[in-house]
Amino acid sequence: MICHIDYEAPDDLLDGKIVLVTGASSGIGRAAAMSYARHGATVILLGRSVSRLEVVYDAIEAMGAPQPAIFPLNLESATSQDYATVATKLEKEFGRLDGLLHNASILGERVTVADADPAIWAQVMQVNFTATLGLTQALLPLLQVSGDASVIFTSSSVGRQGRARWGAYSTSKFATEGLMQILADEHRDSNLRFNSLNPGATRTAMRKAAYPDEDPQVLRTPEEIMPTYLWLMGPESLGTSGRAFDAQPPK
Ligand code: NAP
């Protein structure tokens, strides 16, 4: 396990960087967007609800951080044309992309494979994996312009070890780990880096849905797991690619 929970990022860690965060409206994605902005990045907030993204936008502006941007996109219905539009808009507004945090995901249903609904399985794969792939493909040229961009894929403990009743979600995270490793190998001669990050049990709506009987107070908050998110996005991780990280040590 590689974890940087004690990392203390300098205030100017991401000064001048352009960083896109998917699922930036709530939970871990919101905390990451705020944290990257607080450390100097211009953050592109991507998500399906403009009103929820606007709340994050306003909070970033209120901190006096660089002005963020909102890119609305529903990853459940997104097509290659939508990913290309995101890339074109980014190219026009910023000319490059220095960081990409693939964070948006859905849980799907917690049932056995025998009981899984194929339509829900496909929906989970679309949001958690296929959209991640499409967006990465479309944004690769802009990441290459940056020269030393960092791409972080959000994984899960069930994306590294299969577990009963985690069906589509677990499968989507295994696929994400595989994509990360393939990209890292394909770009091993460049400064582009691709790594995966398992947040671990974190106090969010998704965790509550997965473990309704758990006391949320025993869990770390999204803000508390940000050190590894910052380390991976910042220059100290240059040269590290194809690795699987954990944002917190296991309990
Ligand atoms: P969350 O609170 O449910 O937030 C998920 C985010 O994804 C929200 O911003 C949500 O937007 C967005 N999203 C969902 N469907 C979308 C769609 N169709 N299009 C665009 N955006 C969409 O979950 P979280 O706990 O913060 O999870 C963040 C990441 O960490 C996920 O990849 C998850 O698998 C991973 N993870 C979490 C835990 C944990 O304990 N929390 C553990 C392991 C891994 P809305 O605000 O519009 O819903």
Q: Is 211 an active-site residue?
A: no
pLDDT along the chain (251 residues), means of 10: 90 98 98 98 98 98 98 98 98 98 98 98 98 98 96 98 98 98 97 97 98 97 98 97 95 69
Residue 87: predicted pLDDT: 98
Count Cβ neighbours within 10 Å for each residue of 197-236 and write b for 16 or more, e otherwise: bbbbbbbbebbeebeeeeeeeebbebeebbbbbbbbbbee
Residue 2: predicted pLDDT: 86
Structural domains counted in the chain? 1
Question: What percent helix, strand, coil does the chain show, rounded to 5?
Answer: 45, 15, 40
Residue 3: predicted pLDDT: 84
Say if 51 falls within a structural domain. Answer: yes
Q: CA 107, 111, 112, 113 torsion: positive or negative?
A: negative
Torsion of CA 199, 205, 209, 215, to 10 degrees: 80
Ligand 1, atom nearest to 201 Cα: 40
Rg (CA), the chain: 17
**Which domain covers residue 105, as residue numbers?**
2-246
Residue 147: predicted pLDDT: 81
Residue 24: predicted pLDDT: 98
Say if 119 falls within a structural domain. Answer: yes
Say if 174 falls within a structural domain. Answer: yes
Contact by Cβ (8 Å): 21, 36:
yes
Say if 15 falls within a structural domain. Answer: yes
Residue with the nearest Cα to atom 23 of ligand 1? 206
The phi, psi pair for 192, rounded to 5°, reads: -70, 135
Say if 129 falls within a structural domain. Answer: yes
Q: Environment class of residue 83 by beta-carbon count within 10 Å: exposed (0-12), middle (13-18) or buried (19+)?
A: buried
Say if 23 falls within a structural domain. Answer: yes
Residue with the nearest Cα to atom 45 of ligand 1? 25
Say if 251 falls within a structural domain. Answer: no
Residue of 36, 57, 169, 229 marked active site: 169
Helices 50-62 and 27-38, packing angle to 10 deg? 30
- What CATH number is associated with residue 56? 3.40.50.720
